Amino acid sequence: MPVSIVSLDELLNGSVRRYPCVAALGAFDGVHLGHQAILESAREKAQALGGCSIALTFDRLPAEVLKPKQAPMLITLPEARFSLLERMVDEVVVIPFDQQLIHLEATDFIEQALIKGLGTVGVVVGFNYTFGKGAKGTAELLQRCAAANLLNVTVVPPVEAVGGQVSSTRIRKHIDTGEIALANALLGRPFRLTGQVIAGDARGRVLGYPTANVAVDSRLILPHPGVYVTRFQSPIPNNPALQETHTAVTAISNRPTFSGKDISVESFVLDYDRDLYGQVVYLDFLHRLRDIRRFSDAAELSAQIARDVEATRAYVKQHCRC
């Protein structure tokens, strides 16, 4: 059972006890290089202590409950986050970030939830991790409680990459400004959007470049408007459990040439002509080609799309092993 979604009461009463285990704690939005260092440390420590590694995380970001109006856009949806986490540890335990958890004292979280409930013998956290009522629980508090409770605590220092500290905040900034290469470097993989293909206005087909109009979950952050080289994954016909991958030119824009207003995500999938309506697809962003601009007419836009396609083929040929 790689992902267990449980209530705080179930955690406290030992229903998911995994003694002896080492727990990596965090919200883990993005599961970036810094998070990966925490998870790797938990896995190594669990092996050394003869136990299993656990990622203990929440069903949502704490800010979505504590400060909903200021909550950041997500880098990864919960299901995608859990899937990424389970690749790195033995099990993922998900608890709701709700009022019950908010009012749990930090020491009770350590002693009742982690040690008694989960059966934790080791804990791994990032240097800036906080928990418990009023966010009074810190890495320092964990270390102070360690000796009394025979708890092995590891605090992972900041991870540096591409000239600075790796953080979800920094990654969001790079995505928001269209610096997708920097965001990918900090994530350790391409930034991904997930969405369902819905009916559009069919202008792409008229232009000679039919596009898949992807409705993306409103909680996900979108890259800055522009044209991008993407890797497009969709279910294989007659075998939806498997995915097939193609290169695509993806535009994030309000379609200024046609006086559009709402931001859309549209992908022209190279060398692909199957019906995608209703399919859930994945877009991995590899490279930013250009800004969005208004063209004088449809013919000028069509000519630019042709150039975008050629630039995309050239990029993939040079940079991708596929």
Do residues 93 and 214 both lie within one domain?
no
Do residues 17 and 139 both lie within one domain?
yes
CA dihedral sign of residues 269, 271, 273, 276:
negative
Single residue among 116, 142, 159 that ends a domain in this structure: 159
Q: How many domains are there within the chain?
A: 2
Q: What is the model's pLDDT at position 170?
A: 97
Q: What is the model's pLDDT at position 237?
A: 77
Q: What is the model's pLDDT at position 88?
A: 96
Q: Which of these, 34, 86, 14, lies nearest to 56 by C-alpha position?
A: 86
Q: How many helices and strands, by DSSP H and E, does the chain display?
A: 11, 16
Do residues 201 and 119 both lie within one domain?
no
As given in the structure block, the two tokens for residue 92 are: 């993922």
Please tell me the distance from the alpha carbon of residue 66 to that of residue 292, in angstroms, as a whole number.
36
Q: Is 52 within 8 Å of 90 (Cβ atoms)?
A: yes
Q: What is the model's pLDDT at position 299?
A: 86
Please tell me the distance from the alpha carbon of residue 290 to that of residue 292, in angstroms, as a whole number.
7
Q: What is the model's pLDDT at position 255?
A: 60
Q: Which of these, 24, 27, 118, 13, lies nearest to 65 by C-alpha position?
A: 27
Do residues 39 and 154 both lie within one domain?
yes
Q: Where do the H-state alpha helices sit in the chain?
A: 8-12, 33-49, 62-66, 78-86, 99-102, 106-108, 139-149, 168-176, 180-187, 203-207, 298-319
Do residues 131 and 8 both lie within one domain?
yes
Do residues 141 and 224 both lie within one domain?
no
80: buried, middle or exposed (CB in 10 Å: 19+, 13-18, 0-12)?
A: middle
Q: What is the model's pLDDT at position 205?
A: 61
Q: Is 34 within 8 Å of 71 (Cβ atoms)?
A: no
**Single-letter amino acid code for the residue at 119:** G
Q: Which of these, 200, 199, 195, 170, lies nearest to 182 by C-alpha position?
A: 170
Cα-to-chain-centroid distance, residue 219? 11
Single residue among 159, 177, 203 that ends a domain in this structure: 159
Do residues 134 and 215 both lie within one domain?
no
- Helices 180-187 and 168-176, interaxial angle, to 10°? 160
Q: Per the domain annotation, does 97 fall within a domain?
A: yes
Q: Per the domain annotation, does 165 fall within a domain?
A: no
Q: What is the model's pLDDT at position 159?
A: 97
Do residues 223 and 86 both lie within one domain?
no
Q: What is the model's pLDDT at position 1?
A: 56
User: What DSSP designation does 17 have?
Assistant: -
Q: Per the domain annotation, does 174 fall within a domain?
A: no
- CATH label of the domain that carries residue 241: 2.40.30.30
Residue 145's domain comprises 3-159
- CATH label of the domain that carries residue 62: 3.40.50.620
Antiparallel, parallel or unpaired: β 226-236 and 239-253: antiparallel
User: What DSSP designation does 66 have?
Assistant: H
pLDDT tens digits, 190-215: 999 999 999 866 565 667 788 999 99
Please tell me the distance from the alpha carbon of residue 159 to that of residue 43, in angstroms, as a whole number.
18
Do residues 16 and 148 both lie within one domain?
yes
pLDDT tens digits, 115-152: 999 999 999 999 999 999 998 999 889 988 877 778 99
- pTM recorded for the entire structure: 0.92
171: buried, middle or exposed (CB in 10 Å: 19+, 13-18, 0-12)?
A: buried
Q: Per the domain annotation, does 166 fall within a domain?
A: no
Q: Per the domain annotation, does 197 fall within a domain?
A: yes
Do residues 121 and 31 both lie within one domain?
yes
Q: Per the domain annotation, does 243 fall within a domain?
A: yes
Do residues 117 and 253 both lie within one domain?
no
Do residues 90 and 216 both lie within one domain?
no
Q: Per the domain annotation, does 180 fall within a domain?
A: no
Q: Per the domain annotation, does 173 fall within a domain?
A: no
CA distance readout (Å), 300 to 250, 257, 290: 18, 10, 16
pLDDT (tens, 9 = 90+) of the chain, 322 residues, equals 589 999 999 999 999 999 999 999 999 999 999 999 999 999 999 999 999 999 999 999 999 999 999 999 999 999 999 999 999 999 999 999 999 999 999 999 999 999 999 999 999 999 999 999 998 999 889 988 877 778 999 999 999 999 999 999 999 999 999 999 999 999 999 999 999 999 866 565 667 788 999 999 999 999 999 999 999 999 887 777 788 999 999 999 876 444 455 789 999 999 998 888 899 999 999 999 999 988 878 888 889 999 999 999 999 999 887 5
